[in-house]
Structure 1
Amino acid sequence: MSKTLSEAERNYEIYDKELLAIIKALKLWRHYLLDAKEQFKIWTDHENLKYFREPQKLNARQARWYLMLQEYDFLLRHIPGKTNTKADILSRLIKPDTSNDNRGVEMFKEKMFIRRLEESTPIYDVTLLHNRRFEILADETVLEKIRKCERRETRVLEEMKKQPEKVWENKGIIYRQGRIYVPDNQEIRDFILHDHHNSPDAGHPGTYRMLESVKRTFWWPTIKTDIRRYVRGCDMCQKNKTIRRPDHIPLNPLPIPDKPWEEISIDMIGPLPKSKEKDAIIVIVDRFSKMIHLVPTNTSLTSMDLAEIYKEEVWRHHGIPKRIISDRGPQFASKFMESLCKALGIERNLSTAYHPQTDGQTERMNQEIETYLRAFINYRQDDWTRWLPMAEFHYNDKTHAATGQTPFFLNYGLHPWKGNITVETTNPTATSLIEELENVREEAKAAMETNNEMMRERGNNKHHKEPFAEGDKVWLETTNIHSNCPTRKLDHKRYGPFEVLKQIGDRSYKLKLPDTWAIHDVFHTSLLTKVRDPEFDSQKKPTPPPPDIINEEEEYEVEEIRGHRRKGRGIQLLVHWKGYGNEDDSWIPRSSLENAEEALSEYKAKLPNGKL
């Protein structure tokens, strides 16, 4: 991470500038660090932090930072400045001036410091430690906890004696059929579930895909039930995922290809907010293995541009397909594409006008990509290109319901290594690997044929919504509700949760909405979905903080300023309040935010000219 100081930040005292590096890093990776089940480490020079190890007078800015630091559970680890080639954090702190405010405050407690570098383990490139899995590899915290707990697993130890071919021990870790047995410890299991669901390379998968991912490495008796409960209680999934209800129309799935990349489908997602000068995504899907390639592009894409993308992203890796399925966009339906496909011997299938379900696979894929991006992009939605490689990897590494395998495995015969805790595996010969891959592909084709039959049967099923009771919490579909985000395509699918006040008629309900919403508060049941409460500690969110009382008036803390507009002769700022959801964002006059200069300075720094 690197960042140029804003105009206001350049005026900070030198010690505030140096402490600012830690503060900005915590803010940037807040969504990883705040819910971390283990202590994380900040690598810096202990000598330069001695100033904050003693009781000090803090200025107003440092006092705010002090409160923010209390939210995190971290340790400071020593690294000499001469070996810290990435950054020399918090160097040459100087004494601030004295006053009567904020005296006797220890910014960093003694217990937050750990031993010096010469007494500790070697340091590797700390940029690798951005992911909690790499943190596990660095100190094996989870494995150590598993070792300690498994000494008390008497039932499993007895099973190990009876079935040594299925259950065995290696270096204090119990394995069951090649997977690490996770003891009956809620903290450890919660950590594993959080890591396989909430992290960017996990991407908030559903129950089926998450189960397959976790079971590659771990096992415990209630693993399936726990994963189902975890997915059901994830508020990010409840807000962002598309709810699919059958259309009661007879389905006629397309024929199944015989091998990977024999048939592909292509579509475009856009327009999106500009991100690195791109405003659209080309989605390319292999109809056999379900592998995808995601390419950032522009809505002004021509047929020639599309041909170039195909050459760079598909042809050089997978060769020429026999059939391409797409919609009737000008890039796909042009004379140029028709001539090109004819010359290469490629059959073209264009979707029926105004009926994207002709290529339902790619339309479903688009929904999954949008769901993934909603979970991780920033509020301005202008960093989606950063997350696109992770979205592609996330999908290609997850088991597809139609094939029963991951796209990676169907293409290459193995799963990519992601830095997981490894387990003992066999090393098959090249011949057996080829035979296994052929068998897996045959099984995948049979699974897709079975899945097509299930799709036809499900098309005749009916869907009934459960009624809501007074006091229930519900999600509200964003349909017809104004959004402050740049594009609705990447905004949450649902807002909330909101409390049901009472039922109005047979199918409508009155909700308790934020005071700033100037809309009718009665909604049809088709727009409402019941909230599933989280059941795991890592999913539970703290209650929004109460307001401070300043000059006998309530005042809430500003976490971020997200936009501005002119209103009459003044300026209003779109404020996101700390501890509250996006639905509580509100437009506040500039004059009413006298105590939010830091948030305002950060917002101005993001503007082209640095001014409102």
Structure 2
Amino acid sequence: MPALQTRNVAGEQLNLVAGTVGCKQLIPRVMVKDLATHETVIDSPSQILIDMIRTIQSTDAFVLGKRKAANVPAKRKAKTGKLSPWRFDSEGLLFYKEQVYVPEEESVWAELLKRHHDDILAGHFGVERTLELVKVPRHRPYGSLTLLPQPEGPWQQIAMDFITGLPSSKRKGIIYDAILVVIDCYTKMARYIPTTKTITAVDLAELFFEEIIYKQDNWTALLPLAEFAYNNGTQSSLGCSPFYALYGYHPQVQFHVGDNARKEEVPAAKERVKHVHDIHEALEQRYQNVVKMQAKHYDAKHKPQTYNVGDLIMLSTKNLRLKRPSRKMSHKFIGPFRIKDLIGTQAYRLTLPSTYQIHDVFHVSYLEPYNRRQGDGSTPTLQPPELMDDGEEYEVEEILDKTKHRKEIWYKVKWKEWLKEYDQWVHESDMEGAQDLRSEYNKKHAEAVSRKQKKKRRT
């Protein structure tokens, strides 16, 4: 085993392996970390760090080559006609374009990059970390298809949802502005219930439907016809209509008027039960075939991904409102956040800042793994950006331009306290808080057009 030779660098013991002159030196990163503890991105390198770099340069093959080239007579160097960006100072320290040259030494490079490049004051967190924030994922979306359990019979499993944002419609003295849609997962039978957006749990338990939307102003009077049309139509997943799946026959929609109208026989109860039972068996088999086909096509375009409790992940900003005026220039992902709990098989609960007034459970498709720099085991210090509160708006400082696209008016605005890179085209419907600026701009624009027309007439 080669002996160690010891050199004193500003009071610190720097151990180098003997016989490694001109080769890569073995310097523990813990020593470099100790020497660079007080380094920041806004200060010049400390003398103790300069002394360490000078010691490394003294045995570096590249530096020795540059030192040899520096001793070439001035007449020979003048023939090249170019000034070298490399120079030595009076103490023999090599510089490149006025920057101290640090020889290739893994522990030194890693620690100095962390101190100077990852410092929060530098405003930059490395190539990989920056790409995590702004790049769009190129892989298939995460998450395989999780199938719901197969229903065992009619109305044993239902799906419910609300249709909101409808114009108000009055019926029997009650004003409705929403629809509750209830679907029987076994027969796909649909029920439509007129309701309101302010419905309570008690009201929800008492609802019963009659109609569905057809016109903007009288949709509550037309729900029965829409419901009948839907339930009498063939469903691709069933191969028959919901009426046929539930009752075993299609309702008669043609009326026979006359004395000799055909009379239908009523089937025996036993045959009726057997007929419905056969239909249900066929439905269950078809249901299994359909869900298998759905899973096959869905999983072909998606990638399974799992995380463990305690893992660090990046969160997609697709459905988040960041405090930035332009979504195009906002981060695609924020974080990292730590996984707190697994919800089901496809969702995770995250540990979010207390200032985030959002639900803390997200589907796996909105998460990306957090990639650390190789060998970096430190705790991330990146602070997530602020989210916009409900009702919060940006202030328009100036209207720069105006255009008309597909019969809609757009304004190019400059946001107050934001750089020009964030100037943005905004639809007129989003400019309600800038009426004075709009009036002022339209007036100036009209005056400019008038002056231009007068000038043309004179010429």
TM-score, normalised to structure 2's length?
A: 0.32
Larger Rg over CA atoms: 2
Which of the two has greater helix per residue?
Answer: 1
Q: TM-score, normalised by structure 1?
A: 0.24
